[in-house]
Amino acid sequence: MLKRQICLLLQSALEQLEIKDNLEIKVDIPRQKEYGDYSTNIAIVAAKKVGQNPRELATNLTEALKVVDTQKVFSKIEIAGPGFINFFLSDKYLQASLLEVAKQVNNWGQVTSNRQQKILMEYVSANPTGPLHVGHGRWAVIGDTIARLLKAAGHQVTTEFYVNNIGNQVEKLEASVLAARGGKDVPEGGYGGSYIKDVQGGTREEMLSSILDQQKTILKALGVEFDNWFMESTLHDK
């Protein structure tokens, strides 16, 4: 947002100097703080096109920027090296920007993309045979963050949790739960975690649902919710 505003100010300043070539304006963040908050090499690039000395053009651009910068975005503008222009943002502008962000709440940063895409994101997708662990939590947060960013960029995003609810692991879960309830040893290859005694339900499907409900509760506490919970069994039904 700030880069875009600086680019627009530079475009206006170039027009003030009657430089109307189709120039690509680049604004970067300097590696060293003493070079300001942002910097540009547009004076060096434009000088080659108009046949001027880069530092002289940088000086003229700086003066033109003072005219077009009606919002007082900059507290200081400096020229460095062969014609780099370094910008220092004003406290007043930064404060006004923060207030604007606060006003927009969750809408800040959202745009309408000209290349809107339909995106399906599948993440976490933990097995329904036990509780979520730290690794699942990591991917929940990363996946949800990416999904929100894509939505804010104007894309149609659908989030999905793929549930592997069939196969040998599900049979082992059922056998482990029944063994725990009967006071028997964990069957070979089964699940012996303390959570097994808390699994509810009398059928295999109900047991899986009990664990899924626990997973959903944890994810919801993280602020992560999915549009679709896709059951692998539906693929086999077809």
**Tens-digit pLDDT profile for residues 97-137:** 889 888 887 777 777 777 889 999 999 999 999 999 999 99
Please report the pLDDT score of residue 238 as a whole number. 62
Report the CATH architecture of 2-93: 2-Layer Sandwich (3.30)
Share of the chain above pLDDT 70, in %: 99
Domain locations in the chain as residue ranges: 2-93, 118-237
The answer to whether domain 2-93 and domain 118-237 are alike in fold is no
Structure tokens at 142: 């990363």
Residue-averaged pLDDT of the chain: 92
Torsion of CA 48, 52, 56, 60, to 10 degrees: -90
Superfamily of domain 118-237: HUPs (3.40.50.620)
Sequence-ordered strand ranges (E) for the chain: 27-28, 38-40, 74-80, 84-89, 118-122, 156-163, 228-231
Buried/exposed code over 168-206 (b: 16+ C-beta within 10 A; e: otherwise): ebbebbbbbbebbeeeeeeeeebbeeeebeebeeeebee
Is residue 201 very low, low, confident or very high in pLDDT (cuts 50, 70, 90)? very high
Structure tokens at 161: 């949790």
Structure tokens at 116: 């809107």
